[in-house]
Amino acid sequence: MKKVAIIPLRAGSKGIPNKNKKRVLGKPLFTWVLGEAIQSELDQVFIYTDDQWIIDYVNSEYSWTKKVRVVERSKESASDTASTEFAMIEFAAKINFDFDVLVLLQATSPLTSMIDINKACALIEDDKIDSVLSVVKTHRFIWTKDGKSINYDFKNRPRRQDFEGLYIENGAVYACKKEILIKEENRLGGNIEVFEMTEDTLVEIDEPIDFLMVEKLLENRLVKNKSFDKIKALIIDVDGVFTNGKVATGENGEISKEFSLIDGMGLEILREENVFPVVLTSENSMVVKKRMEKLKIEYVFTGIRDKFSFLDNFLNEKGLTRAQIAYIGDDINDLANVCGSGLSFCPENAVPKVKMMTDNILKNKGSEGAIREACEYILKFNRRS
């Protein structure tokens, strides 16, 4: 059963301009659900958008996976009045209905996990189920505007543990079989099944303040899921960590950056203890590539903007977990990995938001021994593990 997902994104968001591209924990909003979809059991994930910035971003950023494709949506389906169903049917026709199941994922629900997506995929494989939607169980008491209680008797107010509660649609994940989409022209139809997601996923991005709430919820989830194991890899950002963040440029671009010799020795000692370094940077720099060749670092990844999703994929390929890695970053594009790695560090010159979220603020600055300091910390940590 071929299961494909659509993540519909519009360029012309009126309520919150550029909503889908706004950063949450240093990542564009839409990349949170996209990253989870890549790691899920879906066969293919389609970004369906009229936004050229997103088209270019996805085409350049996710070349490391064959699972993601971009399909350009029409102006009509991206209008303020077009329904999501209209976009789904238009998309399905554009790919010649080449699927058995279509899964709708919403970028405005960035707390959706691959576990949630896999639940929907597993349910929809049942011959007796035609469509699926995600819900959240709530124990809130519901009232009408004219003062009538809907789901309980206020004269006999139940205790929370005795109250069954309600299931509320959270707008995160939907799945339907091809026949249902064609027949009903709707994301739901036939025999409908619900599956439960965690209570925090009830928050969707509708208002500007929702970004603050969701970012805190994502941070809390990543930190809560942290676990610790013997460190096997050290993931390192470049500018502001390997370097002091300064660069000399000329007519032909970048000329030089400053690196620390003692950092190089620290990495060499770390390798002798079977901890391998990984360089992960959003910059594309020949200066950096040359320096990493000099340091004989095997894994050097440049031009990576969605570092979190890329790192998830790399760890899966290497058979490692996040509990087995340490991460050093200094700026907001490192935030997700800072929160979601077994150990995290930032140099003394890191931006304040990273300092607030990291496990360890190093005494040294980038290019002034910060990496060496982290290496020594990891060696001591591993000896105790």
- Whole-number pLDDT of residue 139: 87
**Per-residue tokens: 94:** 């554009």
Q: Which residues pair with 325 in a beta bridge?
A: 233
**Per-residue tokens: 222:** 């990543």
Q: Is residue 245 pLDDT above 80, yes or no?
A: no
Phi, then psi, of 38 in degrees rounded to 5: -60, -40
> pTM for this one?
0.92
Mean pLDDT of 331-360: 97
Full set of structural domains in the chain with CATH: 3-224 (3.90.550.10), 233-384 (3.40.50.1000)
Band (159; pLDDT cuts 50, 70, 90)? confident
Phi, then psi, of 306 in degrees rounded to 5: -90, 80
Band (255; pLDDT cuts 50, 70, 90)? low
- Whole-number pLDDT of residue 163: 86
Residue type, 281: T
User: 């124990």: which residue's tokens?
Assistant: 139
Mean pLDDT of 138-153: 91
Could you tell me the maximum CA-CA distance found in the chain, to the nearest angstrom?
A: 79
Gyration radius of the chain's alpha carbons = 24
pLDDT digits (tens, 9 = 90+) for 309-326: 999 999 999 999 999 999
- Whole-number pLDDT of residue 224: 93
Band (252; pLDDT cuts 50, 70, 90)? low
**What mean pLDDT is reported for the chain?**
94
3 state SS for the chain = CCEEEEEEECCCCCCCCCHHHCEECCEEHHHHHHHHHHHCCCCEEEEEECCHHHHHHHHHHCCCCCCEEEEECCCCCCCCCCCHHHHHHHHHHHCCCCCCEEEEECCCCCCCCHHHHHHHHHHHCCCCCCEEEEEEEECCCCECCCCCECCCCHHHCCCHHHCCCEEEEEEEEEEEEHHHHHHHCCCCCCCEEEEEECHHHHCCCCCHHHHHHHHHHHHHHHHHCCCCCCCCEEEECCCCCCCCCCCEEECCEEEECCCCHHHHHHHHHHHHCCCEEEEECCCCCHHHHHHHHHCCCCEEECCCCCHHHHHHHHHHHHCCCHHHEEEECCCHHHHHHHHHCCEEEECCCCCHHHHHHCCEECCCCCCCCHHHHHHHHHHHHHHHC
- Cβ 366 vs Cβ 346: under 8 Å: no
Q: Which residues pair with 44 in a beta bridge?
A: 4
Q: Over the range 139-151, which residues count as b (16 or more CB within 10 Å of their CB) and which as e?
A: eeeeeeeeeeeee
- Whole-number pLDDT of residue 247: 74
Q: What is the Cα–Cα distance from 233 to 239, expressed in whole angstroms?
A: 19
Residue 202's CB: how many other CB atoms inside 10 A? Answer: 18
User: 């490391």: which residue's tokens?
Assistant: 64
In the chain, what percentage of residues exceed pLDDT 90? 84
Q: Is residue 14 pLDDT above 80, yes or no?
A: no
Q: Residues 326, 331, 335, CA angle at the centre, nearest 5°?
A: 55
Band (19; pLDDT cuts 50, 70, 90)? very high
**Per-residue tokens: 250:** 């000329």
- Cβ 257 vs Cβ 237: under 8 Å: no
